[in-house]
Amino acid sequence: MKRKIELILNGETRSVEAEETASLLDVLRSDLGVSGARYGCGLGQCGACAVLVDGKEEAACLLAVEAAEGKAVTTSEGLGSPERPHPLQAAFLELQAGQCGYCLSGILVGAKALLDRNPDPSRAEIAQALDWHLCRCGVHNRVMDAVALAARRMREGAAA
Protein backbone atom coordinates (compact mmCIF):
# COMPACT_ATOMS: atom_id res chain seq x y z
CA MET A 1 0.00 0.00 0.00
CA LYS A 2 1.35 3.41 -0.94
CA ARG A 3 1.49 6.21 1.56
CA LYS A 4 3.12 9.58 1.96
CA ILE A 5 6.60 9.36 3.44
CA GLU A 6 8.69 12.37 4.45
CA LEU A 7 12.42 12.42 4.88
CA ILE A 8 15.15 15.02 4.92
CA LEU A 9 17.11 14.37 1.74
CA ASN A 10 20.44 16.18 1.51
CA GLY A 11 19.20 18.86 3.88
CA GLU A 12 15.80 19.41 2.24
CA THR A 13 12.50 17.98 3.47
CA ARG A 14 11.01 15.82 0.74
CA SER A 15 7.72 13.94 0.52
CA VAL A 16 7.03 10.95 -1.65
CA GLU A 17 4.15 8.55 -2.23
CA ALA A 18 5.72 5.12 -2.00
CA GLU A 19 5.13 1.58 -0.94
CA GLU A 20 6.25 1.31 2.69
CA THR A 21 8.28 -1.76 1.85
CA ALA A 22 9.99 -0.24 -1.20
CA SER A 23 13.72 0.03 -0.75
CA LEU A 24 15.15 3.43 0.02
CA LEU A 25 17.39 2.97 -3.02
CA ASP A 26 14.44 2.48 -5.37
CA VAL A 27 12.62 5.52 -3.96
CA LEU A 28 15.73 7.70 -4.15
CA ARG A 29 16.42 6.78 -7.76
CA SER A 30 12.93 6.29 -9.21
CA ASP A 31 10.76 8.70 -7.24
CA LEU A 32 13.11 11.41 -5.99
CA GLY A 33 15.49 11.60 -8.96
CA VAL A 34 18.66 11.16 -6.90
CA SER A 35 21.00 8.85 -8.78
CA GLY A 36 24.28 8.91 -6.83
CA ALA A 37 23.49 5.78 -4.83
CA ARG A 38 23.62 2.92 -7.29
CA TYR A 39 22.24 -0.59 -7.48
CA GLY A 40 25.08 -3.08 -7.24
CA CYS A 41 24.48 -6.47 -5.72
CA GLY A 42 21.09 -5.92 -4.08
CA LEU A 43 22.37 -7.77 -1.02
CA GLY A 44 24.07 -4.95 0.91
CA GLN A 45 27.48 -6.45 0.22
CA CYS A 46 29.07 -4.11 -2.34
CA GLY A 47 28.56 -0.59 -0.97
CA ALA A 48 27.43 0.97 -4.27
CA CYS A 49 24.11 1.98 -2.69
CA ALA A 50 25.56 3.39 0.54
CA VAL A 51 23.88 6.46 2.03
CA LEU A 52 23.96 8.09 5.44
CA VAL A 53 20.80 7.86 7.53
CA ASP A 54 21.07 10.19 10.51
CA GLY A 55 24.83 10.04 10.01
CA LYS A 56 25.08 6.24 9.96
CA GLU A 57 26.17 4.44 6.82
CA GLU A 58 23.43 2.16 5.48
CA ALA A 59 22.90 -0.06 2.45
CA ALA A 60 19.95 1.67 0.77
CA CYS A 61 19.13 -1.46 -1.22
CA LEU A 62 18.23 -3.30 1.99
CA LEU A 63 16.57 -0.48 3.91
CA ALA A 64 12.83 -0.06 3.52
CA VAL A 65 11.96 3.58 2.81
CA GLU A 66 9.67 3.61 5.84
CA ALA A 67 12.75 3.05 8.04
CA ALA A 68 14.12 6.38 6.79
CA GLU A 69 10.90 8.29 7.45
CA GLY A 70 11.58 11.53 9.31
CA LYS A 71 15.33 10.95 9.19
CA ALA A 72 18.17 12.81 7.51
CA VAL A 73 19.33 10.91 4.42
CA THR A 74 22.57 12.02 2.80
CA THR A 75 23.68 10.79 -0.59
CA SER A 76 26.87 11.70 -2.43
CA GLU A 77 24.97 14.61 -4.01
CA GLY A 78 24.51 16.07 -0.53
CA LEU A 79 28.22 16.21 0.28
CA GLY A 80 29.12 19.19 -1.87
CA SER A 81 28.63 20.86 -5.22
CA PRO A 82 30.81 21.42 -8.28
CA GLU A 83 31.33 24.99 -7.11
CA ARG A 84 32.01 23.98 -3.52
CA PRO A 85 33.04 20.33 -3.30
CA HIS A 86 33.38 18.55 0.01
CA PRO A 87 37.08 18.00 0.89
CA LEU A 88 36.60 14.30 0.12
CA GLN A 89 35.28 15.07 -3.35
CA ALA A 90 38.15 17.50 -3.98
CA ALA A 91 40.76 14.97 -2.84
CA PHE A 92 39.23 12.19 -4.94
CA LEU A 93 39.35 14.43 -8.00
CA GLU A 94 42.86 15.66 -7.30
CA LEU A 95 44.27 12.14 -6.84
CA GLN A 96 42.08 10.68 -9.60
CA ALA A 97 40.85 8.12 -7.11
CA GLY A 98 38.27 6.67 -9.44
CA GLN A 99 38.20 4.97 -12.75
CA CYS A 100 34.72 4.01 -13.90
CA GLY A 101 33.14 5.74 -10.90
CA TYR A 102 30.33 3.25 -10.29
CA CYS A 103 31.38 2.57 -6.70
CA LEU A 104 32.59 6.06 -5.80
CA SER A 105 29.31 7.49 -4.52
CA GLY A 106 29.10 4.78 -1.89
CA ILE A 107 32.78 5.07 -1.06
CA LEU A 108 32.50 8.84 -0.60
CA VAL A 109 29.54 8.42 1.74
CA GLY A 110 31.38 5.71 3.68
CA ALA A 111 34.47 7.89 3.95
CA LYS A 112 32.33 10.80 5.19
CA ALA A 113 30.87 8.58 7.92
CA LEU A 114 34.39 7.55 8.92
CA LEU A 115 35.73 11.11 9.08
CA ASP A 116 32.68 12.30 11.03
CA ARG A 117 33.45 9.80 13.79
CA ASN A 118 37.24 9.78 13.45
CA PRO A 119 38.88 12.89 11.95
CA ASP A 120 42.36 11.35 12.09
CA PRO A 121 42.05 7.74 10.91
CA SER A 122 45.04 5.50 10.35
CA ARG A 123 45.45 3.74 7.02
CA ALA A 124 44.22 0.54 8.67
CA GLU A 125 41.11 2.33 9.98
CA ILE A 126 40.39 3.71 6.51
CA ALA A 127 40.75 0.23 5.03
CA GLN A 128 38.48 -1.26 7.67
CA ALA A 129 35.80 1.41 7.23
CA LEU A 130 35.73 0.96 3.46
CA ASP A 131 36.14 -2.83 3.49
CA TRP A 132 32.61 -3.64 2.31
CA HIS A 133 32.89 -1.27 -0.68
CA LEU A 134 33.79 -3.27 -3.76
CA CYS A 135 35.69 -1.69 -6.62
CA ARG A 136 36.45 -3.82 -9.63
CA CYS A 137 38.75 -1.15 -11.15
CA GLY A 138 41.35 -1.63 -8.41
CA VAL A 139 41.70 1.98 -7.27
CA HIS A 140 41.82 1.04 -3.59
CA ASN A 141 45.23 2.61 -2.93
CA ARG A 142 44.19 5.91 -4.52
CA VAL A 143 40.93 5.87 -2.57
CA MET A 144 42.78 5.38 0.69
CA ASP A 145 45.24 8.15 -0.22
CA ALA A 146 42.34 10.49 -1.06
CA VAL A 147 40.56 9.81 2.24
CA ALA A 148 43.80 10.43 4.16
CA LEU A 149 44.40 13.67 2.21
CA ALA A 150 40.87 14.91 2.86
CA ALA A 151 41.16 14.05 6.56
CA ARG A 152 44.43 15.99 6.83
CA ARG A 153 42.98 19.00 5.02
CA MET A 154 39.85 18.95 7.14
CA ARG A 155 41.92 18.84 10.34
CA GLU A 156 44.15 21.67 9.12
CA GLY A 157 41.10 23.71 8.14
CA ALA A 158 39.55 23.18 11.56
CA ALA A 159 42.75 24.29 13.23
CA ALA A 160 42.99 27.47 11.15
CATH superfamily of 2-78: Beta-grasp domain (3.10.20.30)
Instruction: Give per-residue pLDDT as tens, 71-103.
Output: 999 999 999 999 999 999 999 999 999 989 999
d(CA 139, CA 117): 24
Q: What is the pLDDT of residue 20?
A: 80
- Delimit the domains of the chain by residue range: 2-78, 87-159
| CATH class of this structure's domain 87-159 | mainly alpha
* 87-159 has the same fold as 2-78: no
- Tell me the average pLDDT of the chain: 95
